Structure 1
Amino acid sequence: MEHYQLLKIAHSAPGILLLLGVLAHVFMLWKAARVGDAAVLQRKLKRTRLISLPVLGLLALSLPVSGWWLVNLAGFPLGLTWLLASSVLFGVLVLVGLLLNGRLAAWQALGDSPAPANLLRLCAVYAGLLVLLLLVIMGLMGAKPV
């Protein structure tokens, strides 16, 4: 059973890194947008879209693999309510992440011109939804039967 504990840690670490990464990028982009320097904002948007989002995406895609392995190792049936709910929420999380990437691409394409308030609001809503979905999924994983 020591393999189970190690796998559990290996499954939890990407989830925590994903949550912290999303929060860090939200704060970083919010701070850069408030300063008003378009060059700094464009550099941060470029770094976020080219480096950070693919890394966060890989972290997110590792979760179903390690999660299935954990469920298989523990002997849980795949039809458990908490497992099905978290799987559906993970699908929504991936969709919201793709929508956020599209909004960030539109924001980056504006260049030095100021972003419309609607675009900023959508980015904030998508980022907030990502954080909320991650927290709900983590809650479902923590509340599962032992």
Structure 2
Amino acid sequence: MDNYLLLKIAHSLPGLLLLLGLLAHIFMLWKANRGGDAAVLQRKLRRTRLISLPLLGVLALSLPVSGWVLVNLVGWPLGQTWLLASSVLFLAVLVLGLLLAGRLAAWQALAGSPAPASLLRFTAAYAGLIVVLLLAIMGLMGAKPA
């Protein structure tokens, strides 16, 4: 297996795991919230904030590094439109990820009392925007020149 293919897999895998991990946590927290058991929801929120978010953050931060190595290996200029657009979208994903972490912290701080509808709407909006932006970035990566 040549270096390019290996690096391409090493770059694609964290992106896919990031998207699937986010979708799994959205579903898990939605289900726990709908279940009505405050202890289960608090446990899921604590696990998400202490374990999953840092792991997803490491996956996200590995993407620019592996992407830069890939672009450097192929010899593409960094000023290409698809690359600049995906970089801007990735910065938006990082900002939204920090906002989402703050909303999850506020949700966990409620400690069993019902969450206000605005908190749940913002949390869902941030998570949904992250999913859409990740899909857009993956689309740009797939549409790049061969």
TM-score of the superposition, structure 2-length normalised?
A: 0.99
Structure 2, unaligned runs of 5 or more:
none
Q: Partners in 1 of 2:113 and 2:11 — Cα distance? A: 42
Distance 1:30 1:112 in 2: 15
Q: 1:72-100: per-residue Cα shift (whole Å, max 9, x none)? A: 00000000000000000000000000000
Alignment of 1:49-128 (within 5 A): 49-128=49-128
Which amino acid in the other structure matches residue 66 of structure 1? S
**1:137 corresponds to 2:123:** no
* Residues in 2 aligned to 1:24 and 1:52: alpha-carbon distance in whole angstroms: 11
Q: Which deviations, in whole Å up to 9, do the C-alpha atoms of 1:42-81 show, x marking residues without a partner?
A: 0000000000000000000000000000000000000000
- The residue aligned with 2:32 is 32
* Alignment partners' CA distance in 2, 1:109 and 1:15: 30
Q: Structure 1: which 4+ aligned runs deviate by more than 4 Å?
A: none
Unaligned runs of 5+ in 1: none
CA distance in 1, matches of 2:82, 2:8: 17
Instruction: Give identity over the alignment, percent.
Output: 77
TM-score, normalised to structure 1, is 0.99
Aligned length: 146
The one-letter code matched in structure 2 to 1:126 is Y
- Please report how far the alpha carbon of residue 112 of structure 1 lies from its aligned counterpart in structure 2 after TM superposition: 1.0
Question: SS of 1:115's equivalent?
Answer: coil
